[in-house]
Structure 1
């Protein structure tokens, strides 16, 4: 009798969440702003389904949602739903259900989200834009250059400094498809990490209101990575350098992506170390620290942040134990 009640509850909850996912996808399609909200909210809905029930119920619900979305908005929207939200939602639900540490959960969900976004880009370039991703990016660059040319002409009419205009013009002219493609994976991964953080923070609030346990992420001033991750990033960069020296095209992609991702990670850790030092040791106010960080950025000394992050990851001058990594 209890099993029948449990199965009935599972079917009802799965049905409600299926309808909710359909509504979110419809809003994604017709309300531009909601695309951002849906990108954060949908993986959490899938995670709730996984935590409250199991993988089998989740897959059945996702299959039903796929069919509903396909008949409502089209095949492409349904496939994008599967690619963008399914894997990250299931991984998030698994990490929550298995009580995985917040930082590790963030890492795996970010990887799943990156895979989904890259797969989505591939789908768009392959089936929607028949010319392929190369021609798609080339069209975007051409539009951007034309808009920049119009802006430069407008600046000249306003009498803005010619030297600044020439610098902007040279930067725009240096843009090409190969350059964009070589840096695109790194920026995609960084954006996915930011979105994953937002997803996880919102998940903490939602799961808390549902009285479901979830491991929170440590305070920002305690964010730290050890020398093993530093070694992995350096190792990947070295592999890219070796491949690039052998004229393997993917080598430059690996170099640029690892530098972009590494700079982002170590900058965050560097800022965390600065806040920890000034707040913990010197009791400086948050406003003063914020103004100092903004001043460093405005003075063009932003490279100091990843340098501090690398030093902290190797030396561990905050004396965090290994189980306190982020």
Structure 2
């Protein structure tokens, strides 16, 4: 009897959630102003359904809602919405329900978001009739830069602004995009993951759902294992490049880019920690110092400080380090 009651309850809630997903999907498709907001809100019903029930019920609701949207509108758009629900919604629902740490949640969500973005690119390339993703992106970016230059040409475009647009145009060439494609996808996935995680946490808190508390940025750290994984990633790229495999340069570039970003974040957290805890500065003053110094030539100093903190663990935050026993 209990199982039957639970089954009935799950079916009813899945039906309600599917209806809500369909409404959000259609609003996202037909109201352009709501497109960005809709994509951020879209995974929320799926996350709630996963928290309240399980993976099977959640996937059933996602598939049913996507089929309905495909029947009412464009099947391609419905499939793209299905990708968002299947990657972001299910991943976040799993992590929140099982109380996964913030760092693990962001890593998993970044991976799934990157996969979702790649699939979306493949769909766009197919619709545009292009030979590949790189050619499609290159054409889109170069056309955008050319249109921007033409638009601002009659408004007094300065040499500095023109130089910036020219550098973007050069970056958009197929060879450069091929080299940086993996890094672009990973960074896009990371930014999407951070934004989705933040919005989800805010909404779930309003709905009185328990979430893992986010620690202050001063407690942010990159442990030695994570740094070693990135180093191995770079090494693989170097070895592939030496063996004349084209994907090697893309992996190497992505590895160096990720390494610089995590070292920068680690260094910024390290500096902020000492400003607040050792020099007793207020949050406002310490934040202003961090902002003004990180957007300056001193940025490279933060990268080196991040590396030093990973090696020596000054803040004693890495649980993988062996601590001397206190007497």
Aligned match of 1:174 in 148, 156, 170? 170
2:325 paired residue number:
none
Question: Does the residue aligned with 1:303 lie in a helix, a strand or coil?
Answer: helix
Deviations 1:55-81 (A, max 9, x none): 111121111111111112221012112
Once residues 57 and 172 of structure 1 are traced to their aligned partners in structure 2, the CA distance between those partners, rounded to angstroms, is 46
| 1:290 and 2:290 are equivalent in the alignment | no
The answer on 1:262 being equivalent to 2:259 is: yes
1:277 aligned to 268, 274, 292, which one?
Answer: 274
Residue 204 of structure 1 contacts residue 216 of structure 1 at CA under 8 Å; is this kept in 2? Answer: no
Query: TM-score scaled by structure 1?
Result: 0.88
Q: In structure 2, do the counterparts of structure 1 residues 4 and 166 end up closer, same or farther at CA, with 3 Å as the change threshold?
A: closer
CA distance in 2, matches of 1:207, 1:270: 31
Aligned length, in residue pairs: 319
Tell whether the 8 Å contact from 1:85 to 1:113 is kept in structure 2 after alignment: no
CA deviations over 1:64-122 (Å, ceiling 9, x no partner)? 11111111222101211222221222122222222222221222122111111112112
In 1: Cα distance, 2:165 partner to 2:207 partner? 54
Shift of 1:173: 5.5
What RMSD in Å do the two structures reach over aligned CA positions? 2.5
Higher relative contact order (CA 8 A, sep 6+): 1
* Partner of residue 89, structure 2: 89
SS, match of residue 213 in structure 2: coil
Alpha carbons of structure 1 residues 172 and 98: separation in structure 2 relative to 1, 3 Å: closer
* 1:275-314 Cα distance to aligned partner (Å, 9 max, x none): 1110111111222223223322443332223322222222
Superposition TM-score, scaled by structure 2 size = 0.88
Say whether 1:150 aligns with 2:150: yes
Distance of 2:318 and 2:294 partners within structure 1: 30
Rounded Cα–Cα distance in structure 2 between residues aligned with 1:118 and 1:36: 18
- For each residue in 1:208-254, what CA deviation from the matched residue of structure 2 results, as whole angstroms up to 9, or x when unmatched? 34443321222211111111111111111121122222221101110
My pick for the range that moved more, 310-319 or 27-36, is 27-36
Shift of 1:271: 1.4
Q: Given that residues 218 and 272 in structure 2 are in contact (C-alpha distance below 8 angstroms), is that contact kept between their aligned partners in structure 1?
A: yes
Q: 1:115 maps to what in 2? A: 115
Query: Which deviates further from its counterpart, 222-231 or 132-141?
Result: 132-141
C-alpha separation in 2, matches of 1:168 and 1:50? 46
Contact residue 263 and residue 306 of structure 2 kept, 8 A:
yes
Q: Verify: 1:234 aligned to 2:231, yes or no.
A: yes
Shift of 1:167: 4.1
> Do the aligned partners of 1:40 and 1:195 also contact (CA within 8 Å) in 2?
no
* Ranges in structure 1 where 5+ consecutive residues have no aligned partner: none
Q: Distance in 1 between matches of 2:297 and 2:281?
A: 23
Conserved 8 A contact 1:18-1:65: yes
Distance change (3 Å), C-alpha of 1:310 and 1:23: farther
Change (3 A) 1:9 1:317: same
Question: In 2, distance between residues paired with 1:294 and 1:211?
Answer: 34
Matched residue, 2:59: 59
In structure 1, the partner of 2:324 is none
Q: Secondary structure at the residue paired with 1:218? A: coil
2:128 aligns to what?
A: 129
Asked if 1 retains the 8 angstrom alpha-carbon contact of 2:134 and 2:177, the reply is: no
Q: Does the 8 Å contact 2:270/2:305 carry over to 1?
A: yes
Superposed displacement of residue 265, structure 1: 2.3
| 1:33–1:323 distance in 2 versus 1, CA, 3 Å | farther
The answer for the alignment partner of 1:250 in structure 2 is 247
| TM-aligned CA deviation for residue 181 of structure 1 | 3.0
